[in-house]
DNA sequence: GCGGATTATCGAACAGTGTTCTATTGTTTC
DNA sequence: GAAACAATAGAACACTGTTCGATAATCCGC
């Protein structure tokens, strides 16, 4: 059999390679040329399966959200609906910590991203047993998702270039950064001084969980439970 | 006097023109060439004042945040600290609705963006009279800011291209979009069906305010007030 | 088996981007 | 006035997403 002169792709292949590229080297590394090289083919071929870079990212996002959906299937049967919402939110957030590129493209093009709607539905269903108006439910789910995605996007931001230039360990750089805060005038920035120690040793997930619990406490209160 | 053959710039000019360009045509329109044209000069000159596009956006963001800071000066003297936090958050959010480009670059490079730290400080000071640990305060302020920015970024996303292609009025397009949701299977998507009417006529600021109040209710509860 | 139509692959070419570089102009300083 | 310096200007570079036409592989009716 003569060796193939051409590679053969598929939408699954392309999306898979896209996700791998994003996972390994971040969003900046996702170029059509890099993707083509990884697939062993030419640049133009990708456009057969996908009509733009944006669609590429949408499809990758939707695929990952599908997996999140599958993984959170079991988290939704607990007795406390708000607890279930909390569990799903945490799982979502953790996925976005693992994949810093994810947050930026979530909740974008809902016509392609079917699985985002399913997450929305899943969270909303939990609130259907609570004593809330449809409007309150809609607001609550929207806010929770915005919070989850917002914090994840915030925290996914790559460290400033000064970090790479310094060659410091993360903890050392954090210390240096906190010291910069400590150098602020104590009278003008009393709050900064009060929390700078917490800031220096904080864990992103803790902060996220803390805010999520505030949000859910407010929701619980609203539901009169 | 012979006419000048060259334009004369300044950092203030450059940042000003940057903000104007961003306000008028969004982030995509901010190119060095467009900016140079607007300033009436050459591309290279901009690099005399600024070392990258990122710094340009940082400076523009910081400038706008300075104005927000000034405008919220009077919002912070009310008797209820959490009410004050609410007022400042709302003002921030409204600024980000006016300037959809703002959110994406907020809380990025804090070494340049001095005014972002000042906002952080301002919100934090309000919590200093409440019965909370420094860690709780730090978490609370971080979460609130993440929420504000997160929701703003979500809502600042430009409408899908289908909107422009359709030529519909915003309300009409919203109706068409909602109808898409209504077409989903009612058994599989009960929540979607329950809130689709709210979704169709919802106001972004209402949703934001609702979530903010949930968050602040949780905070109030945490402070034992 | 054959031939035409369809599907898919490929890479050169295009327009646009941020950034670098060097020549040039204007201004200051002595 | 002349040398030193501060600013301006735009051509050139490397890189990007996207378009396009040429080509290869496959399929389908005969």
Q: Which CATH superfamily is domain A64-225 in?
A: Tetracycline Repressor, domain 2 (1.10.357.10)
| Strand C nucleotides within a 7 Å radius of protein CB atoms | 8-13, 16-22, 25-27
In chain A, list all ranges with CATH 1.10.10.60: 1-50
Residues 6+ positions from B193 with CB-CB distance below 8 Å: B181, B182, B184, B186
pLDDT bin (cut points 50, 70, 90) of residue B111 is: low
Q: Tell which residue, B92, B87, B20, B96, has the closest CA to residue B60.
A: B20
pLDDT at B107: 67
Q: Is any Cβ of chain A less than 8 angstroms from the Cβ of B112?
A: no
Domain B8-51 has CATH 1.10.10.60: yes
Residue position matching structure tokens 């040329």: A33
Reply yes or no on whether the pLDDT at B5 is more than 70.
Answer: no
Stretch(es) of chain B classified as CATH 1.10.10.60: 8-51
pLDDT at B160 over 90: no
Mean pLDDT of A43-53: 97
Listed residue (B186, B188, B166) closest to B177, CA to CA: B166
Nucleic strand D contacts from chain B, 35-64, CB < 7 Å: 39-45, 47-49
Q: How far is A189 from chain B (nearest CA, A)?
A: 6
* pLDDT(A45) > 70: yes
Q: In chain B, what residues touch A154 (CB-CB under 8 Å)?
A: 107, 146, 149-150
Q: Quickly give B39 CA vs C27 C1' distance in Å.
A: 21
User: Minimal Cα distance from B140: which residue of A?
Assistant: A211
Bigger pLDDT: B164 or A216?
A216
Looking at residue A61, what is its pLDDT? 96
Q: What is the pLDDT of residue B110?
A: 64
CATH 1.10.357.10 domain span(s) along chain A = 64-225
Nucleotide nearest A49, from its CA to each C1':
C8
For B60-95, how does the pLDDT look when each residue is reduced to its tens digit (9 = 90+)? Answer: 999 999 999 999 999 999 999 999 999 999 999 999
Which tokens is B73 given?
A: 């000066």
Confidence of residue B159 (pLDDT cuts 50, 70, 90): confident
Helix axes A190-200, B114-127, angle to 10 degrees: 100
pLDDT band for position A112 (50/70/90)?
low
CB atoms within 10 A of CB B50: 19
DSSP assignment of B12-47, as one string? HHHHHHHHHHHHHH-GGG--HHHHHHHHTS-HHHHH
Domain with CATH 1.10.357.10 in chain B: 62-225
Say how far B8 CA is from D18 C1', in Å: 38
Chain A residues whose beta carbon lies within 8 Å of the beta carbon of residue B218? 213-218, 221
pLDDT at B167: 83
A179 near B CB under 8 A: no
The predicted-structure confidence for B180-203, as pLDDT tens digits, reads as follows 999 999 999 999 999 999 999 999
**Band (A131; pLDDT cuts 50, 70, 90):** very high
Percent of chain A with pLDDT over 90: 83
Q: What pLDDT score does A160 carry?
A: 79
Question: What six digits make up the tokens of A139?
Answer: 């607001």
Q: Choose which CATH entry (3.30.1330.10, 1.10.357.10, 3.40.50.300, 1.10.287.130) describes domain B62-225.
A: 1.10.357.10
Residue of B104, B117, B135 to mutate, interface with A, max A Cβ within 10 Å: B135
Specify the long-range contacts of residues A84-90, CB closer than 8 Å, at least 24 apart.
A84/A126, A85/A123, A85/A126, A85/A127, A85/A144, A85/A216, A86/A212, A86/A213, A86/A216, A88/A119, A88/A122, A88/A123, A88/A126, A89/A123, A89/A144, A89/A148, A89/A212, A90/A209, A90/A212
A125, B192 contact by CB (below 8 A): no
CB contact under 8 A, B121 and A189: yes
Q: Does A157 have pLDDT greater than 90?
A: no
Between helix B170-182 and helix B190-200 the angle, nearest 10°, is 170
Query: Distance in angstroms, CA of B73 to C1' of C26?
Result: 43
What is the tens place of the pLDDT at every residue in B210-220? 999 999 999 99
Mean of per-residue pLDDT scores for chain A: 93
Q: Enumerate residues 6+ apart whose C-beta is below 8 A from A44.
A: none
CA distance A54 to A72: 27
CATH 1.10.10.60 fits A1-50, yes or no: yes
pLDDT band at A109 (very low <50, low <70, confident <90, very high): low
Confidence (pLDDT) at B36: 98
* Predicted local confidence at residue A225, as pLDDT: 63
């Amino acid at each position: 059999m003569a060796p193939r002169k051409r590679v053969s792709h598929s939408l699954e292949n392309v999306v898979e390679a896209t996700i791998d590229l994003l996972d390994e080297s971040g969003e900046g590394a996702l170029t059509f040329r890099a993707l083509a090289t990884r697939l062993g083919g030419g640049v133009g071929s990708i456009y057969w399966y996908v009509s733009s870079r944006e669609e590429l990212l949408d499809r990758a996002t939707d695929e990952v959200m599908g997996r999140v959906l599958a993984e959170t299937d079991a988290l939704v049967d607990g007795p406390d609906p708000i607890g279930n919402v909390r569990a799903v939110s945490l799982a979502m957030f953790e996925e976005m910590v693992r994949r810093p590129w994810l947050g930026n493209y979530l909740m974008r093009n809902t016509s392609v991203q079917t699985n985002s709607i399913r997450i929305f539905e899943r969270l909303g269903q939990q609130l259907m047993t609570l004593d809330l108006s449809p409007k309150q439910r809609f607001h609550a789910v929207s806010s929770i998702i915005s919070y989850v995605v917002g914090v994840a996007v915030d925290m996914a931001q790559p460290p400033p270039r000064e970090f790479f230039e310094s060659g410091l360990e993360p903890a050392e750089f954090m210390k240096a950064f906190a010291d910069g805060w400590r150098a602020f005038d104590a009278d003008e920035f009393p709050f900064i001084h009060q929390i700078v120690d917490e800031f220096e040793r904080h864990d992103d997930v803790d902060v996220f969980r803390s805010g999520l619990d505030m949000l859910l406490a407010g929701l619980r209160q609203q539901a009169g439970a």
